Structure 1
Amino acid sequence: MNTAHKQDNEDALIVVGTENELTSPGWMPVPSELVEVRRLGHKVRRGVIETVMKDKSGFWLAADGVEPRLFVLLHDQKQTIRRIAHSG
């Protein structure tokens, strides 16, 4: 396994390395949390986690106004998921 770990705070989930290792294993998405998803440094979406997949492969952000539900794949090396607050 060949991975590079990046230091970060426990409120962010950063994916790096060839094996899609999670560098902040202390945090996993939980329904009702407000998160921001960034891809290649650009904000994709901010939203409330609606459902987390049982296999921990990803989660659904709830629909918000005109924005539809969005599936977020956790093992994506080009994205950062940051917890904003617990909304519920």
Structure 2
Amino acid sequence: MTRTDLLTEVVKAVAAADGVEPSAVEPLHEYIDPEVLYRLDGVENDTEWRFTFRYGTHYVTISHDSRVVVDGDFHRSERSA
């Protein structure tokens, strides 16, 4: 898994919520420092956690099990399959 996996999944999930291609959504770094997501992706423990942030008009939640939820709707990805 690369450092960009979680970032890519967030962009794909927001694009799916908007019904557009990932290239059509606003750059993620305009809403959150990518380093925050890199660090979350590297957390390895048994503690349950959730992190929510605003991305454009959406609220994105990432959980300890790598689930990406946009506006309350789970978006299936390769990571969560």
Same fold (TM over 0.5): no
TM-score for the superposition, normalised by structure 1: 0.25
Task: State the TM-score, normalizing by the size of structure 2.
Answer: 0.26
Q: Which has the higher contact order (CA 8 A, sep 6+)?
A: 1
Q: Which of these two proteins has the greater Rg computed from alpha carbons?
A: 1
Greater helix percent: which structure? Answer: 2
